[in-house]
Structure 1
Amino acid sequence: MINQQQLWDDEAAGQYDTPGEGMFSPEVLGPTVEVLSGLAKGGSAVEFAIGTGRVAIPLSEAGIPVSGIELSHAMIARLREKVGEHRIPVVQGDMTGARAGENFSLAFLVFNTIANLLTQEEQIRCFENAARHLIPGGRFVIELWVPQLRSLPPGHGGTVEVAQPGYLLVDTYDVLRQHVISHHVHFGPELTDGHEARVGRTPHRYIWPSELDLMARLAGFELESRWADWDRSEFTAESRSHVSVYRLIER
C-alpha cells in the first residue's frame, strides 16, 4: 500500500518548485493560466491536488478566485509560505472525496496528477467529486500524458524517458494493472549528501484518453475539447500528452 503522505514529504515539496524553469517557466504557465481563465468565465475555480500553488497562484493573480484540495501537509506548508488562507483557501484531504465548497465554474487537475490515484475506481471517484463541486455546465480540465507503450522494446518492461547530465528518468511498466513506476535518478557533483546517486520513485496508474472519456461520462460529463497542450495544438496519434476539457451535463 503506497503511503502518499510519505511520498510527498518535506523533501519532495522542497524540490518541487523550480521558479522560472521547467513547469514553472512563463512559456508553460502563461498558456495554462490563459486557458483556465477563459474556461472559468468569470466564476471561481477549484484545483484538485493544488500542490505548492504553481498554477493556482498566477491564476489568482489573473483575477480568478481559487480554492484547493491537497493531500500532502508538506505541499500545503510550502504553499502557505507564498500566500495566506484568505487568498487561496485549501482543504487538506484526498481529491476523491474532500470538499472545498460548491458552485464552482471550473475544476482542474494538471500535470498528470490524476495518475497518482492507483486504481480505476479512485479515478472515477475523482470525476464524481469534481461534479459535486461544479455548477451545471461547469468544466473539469485534466492535463495528462499519453501512455508510451509503443516505445517498449519487445521483451522489456521499461523505457528511458529522460537522459541528461545529472538526471535519468526510467519508467517501468506493469501492463496488466496499467501501472508505471517512474524512477528519478539524480547523480553527479551537485549532490551534497555524500552519495554518488539518489533515486526517488513515484507510482502512477496510466489512463488511455478513451478510458478517461468513459470515466467522465459515468460522472455526468461530456468531452468538450481536447488539445495536445495548453497552446491548443491539435491532438493527434503522435501526441505525448493532452489537455481535456469536460463539461458537466445540465440536468
Structure 2
Amino acid sequence: MLRSEIWDEQAAQGYDSPGTGMFAPEVLGPTVDRLVELTEGGRALEFAIGTGRVAVPLAERGVSVSGIELSKPMMDQLRTKADETAIPVVVGDMATARVPGGFQLVYLVYNTISNLLTQAGQVACFRNAARHLEPGGRFVVELWVPEVRKLPPGQQAVVWESASGYIGLDTYDVLRQQVVSHHFRFDAEAGREARLFRSPHRYIWPSELDLMAELAGMTLESRHADWAGAEFTAESRSHVSVYRTAASL
C-alpha cells in the first residue's frame, strides 16, 4: 500500500487527539520548546508536516515554518488551522520534494522517517534535508528504538501498549528490517468490534541513522532519550537525534 493511501481521508480526520496522546501538553510542549531553541531565530522546515501538530504551535511561537506533505487529506486538516500564508506547504515526498529558500532547521518528528520503506529512500531523505539547510543548519529526527530484543524465538509480534480502549502491537520481519504497527481501538465498555489502523515501517538502528547522516554530509551533534534532554541509554525506547551541516561549505 502506498503511503498516500494509508494517510487517507479517514486517517486524516481521526488523526488529531487534542490534549491527549502525542497532543498532550507534556509531550508537545517539550517538543516545541526544543525546536524553538534549535532554530536560533531562523526558518524551519518540517518533513511530513501532517495536520500541523507541531508546526502550528511552533508558528505561534514566532518561528517561520514551512512544510512538505505527501497526503492531501492530512494537509486539508492542517488548512483548518493555518492558511498558506501562515504555513506554506509543498505537496510531495519528503525524500525528493523541494521548498524554496534555505533553512536553519529541518525536522522529522514521531518516527516519520520510518514511513520510508527502503534504506535508499531514507538516505535520500537525509540528502534532501541537507539540500535545504543553510551552512551550520540542523536536521532533527525523533525515532523509536527497534524492540527486537523483546521477541522470543519464533515470535514475530510485540505488544507495546495496552490500555483501556486501545492495544498497540508491532509485527517484525527481522530479515528485511520491516515492521507493521497495528493500532486497535475499541469501546471498552460497550464491547463492540475493534477498529484497526495499520502502518508499515522500515526500522532503523541509531548507528545506521548516523551513517545516513554522514552520507549526506552531516554529523551527530547530540542524542537524547526525549525532547526534554534525558540521557540516552541502552534501555531508552526512543531518541531525539540532532545532526548538523558544516558551518561553511
- Shorter chain as denominator, the TM-score bin is over 0.9
> Does the 8 A contact of 2:164 with 2:188 survive in 1?
no
In structure 2, do the counterparts of structure 1 residues 190 and 91 end up closer, same or farther at CA, with 3 Å as the change threshold? farther
Question: Which residue number in structure 1 is paired with residue 111 of structure 2?
Answer: 112
Tell me, which stretches of 5 or more residues in structure 2 are unaligned? none
Deviations 1:183-230 (A, max 9, x none): 111223678xx9612222110000000000000000000000000000
**Matched residue, 1:248:** 245
For normalisation by structure 2, the TM-score amounts to 0.97
**Aligned residue for 1:213?**
210
Deviation string, structure 1 residues 95-150 (Cα, Å, up to 9, x no partner): 00001123100000000000000000000000000011110110000000000011
**Equivalent position to 1:238, from 214, 235, 240:** 235
Give the total of aligned pairs.
248
Give 3-state SS (helix, strand or coil) of 2:14's partner. helix
Question: In percent, how many aligned pairs have the same letter?
Answer: 63
Distance (whole Å) between structure 2 residues aligned to residue 190 and residue 9 of structure 1: 28
Say if 2:176 is the partner of 1:177: yes
Q: Which residue matches 2:135?
A: 136
User: Which residue does 2:226 correspond to in 1?
Assistant: 229
Amino acid at match of 2:47: F
Assess if the C-alpha contact under 8 Å between 1:102 and 1:132 holds in 2: no
Distance 1:60 1:26 in 2: 16
Distance 1:59 1:199 in 2: 31
Q: Does the 8 A contact of 2:170 with 2:182 survive in 1?
A: yes
Distance 2:38 2:220 in 1: 14
Matched position secondary structure for 2:13: helix
Q: Which residue of 1 aligns with 2:195?
A: 198
1:188 and 2:187 aligned? yes
Residues 135-174 of structure 1 aligned to structure 2 (within 5 Å):
135-174=134-173
TM-score normalised to the size of structure 1? 0.96
Q: Distance in 2 between matches of 1:179 and 1:7?
A: 16
Instruction: Report the equivalent of 1:102.
Output: 101
- Report deviation, 1:34: 1.1
**In 2, are the aligned partners of 1:104 and 1:135 still within 8 Å (CA)?**
yes
Amino acid at match of 1:231: A
Structure 1, unpaired ranges of 5+: none
| Root-mean-square deviation (Å) | 1.4
**Deviation of the 1:75 alpha carbon:** 0.4
Q: Is the Cα–Cα contact under 8 Å of residues 102 and 135 in structure 1 kept in the other structure?
A: no
Letter in 2 for 1:152: L
